[in-house]
Amino acid sequence: MYIKKRSKRKKYFKYKVYLLIIFMFMTCTTTFIYIDNKIMPTVQAIGELKAQEITTRAINESVSIVVKQDITYEDLIAIKEDEEGNITFMQANAMITKL
């Protein structure tokens, strides 16, 4: 009578393959959870700092462009005088100061 030894080996091999797949899945899941909990907050903080840096740089460049224009004191402040030349009213120019 012939006993099938190969079928036992195949079953054992399939069992090992299934265990290996489950182990790899668990390892990947654990790694993902670790990255999500430990590394992502750091990456998000770095991203926020970079965004703030880019925003600050853009604002500074815009201000530099405006400052390079020939803006005088009369452009910034509107001065009202009476008939005798006395200053009666000073008002900031809202359009210029918004820049």
The model's pLDDT over 31-85, given as tens digits with 9 standing for 90+, comes to 999 988 998 889 999 999 999 999 999 999 988 887 777 777 777 788 888 888 8
Q: Per residue, what are the HEC states of 34-60? A: HHHHHHHHHHHHHHHHHHHHHHHHHHH
In the three-class reduction of DSSP (H, G, I as helix; E, B as strand; rest coil), residue 77 is classed as: strand
End-to-end alpha-carbon separation of the chain, Å?
97
pLDDT at 25: 97
Contact between 91 and 76 (Cβ < 8 Å): no
Token pair belonging to 96? 């210029």
> Bigger pLDDT: 67 or 5?
67
Token pair belonging to 78? 């509107």
Question: Cα dihedral angle (9, 12, 16, 17), rounded to 10 degrees?
Answer: 70
pTM over 0.75: no
